[in-house]
Amino acid sequence: MDISSTPILSAYIAAAMRHGRYKLLDDGTYFGEIPGFQGVWADAATLEGCRAELQEVLEGWILLRLADQLPLPTVDNMALTVQDMARQ
């Protein structure tokens, strides 16, 4: 299931990704993370690859949190809850 095709999730994911921080590491690869999303990080040979991997990791992390009914961080005044997803 591509969760980014759900309008609420798509907006939430886009907002979270805008907060992504990327670093060029000494070995020439890229590292990315999103502050406030513990455990959501990626590394790849290119910046574009790192962004794509970071979004995949974020999507999986969101699914796990929703399945376990755990809270998600508020991003740009956007709060997402299990109840929001039940309405989809």
**Domains of the chain from N-terminus onward:** 3-86 (3.30.160.250)
Separation CA 29–CA 64 (nearest Å): 28
- For the chain, the farthest-separated pair of C-alpha atoms sits apart, in whole angstroms, at 46
> What are 19-61's pLDDT values in tens digits?
999 999 999 999 999 999 999 999 999 999 999 999 999 999 9
Separation CA 73–CA 79 (nearest Å): 7
Instruction: State residue 5's pLDDT score.
Output: 56
Could you tell me the two tokens for 50?
């790192």
Ramachandran area for residue 11 (φ above 0: left; ψ -120 to 50: alpha; else beta)? alpha
pLDDT band at 1 (very low <50, low <70, confident <90, very high): very low
Least confident of 15-19, 24-28, 77-81: 77-81
pTM listed for this prediction:
0.85
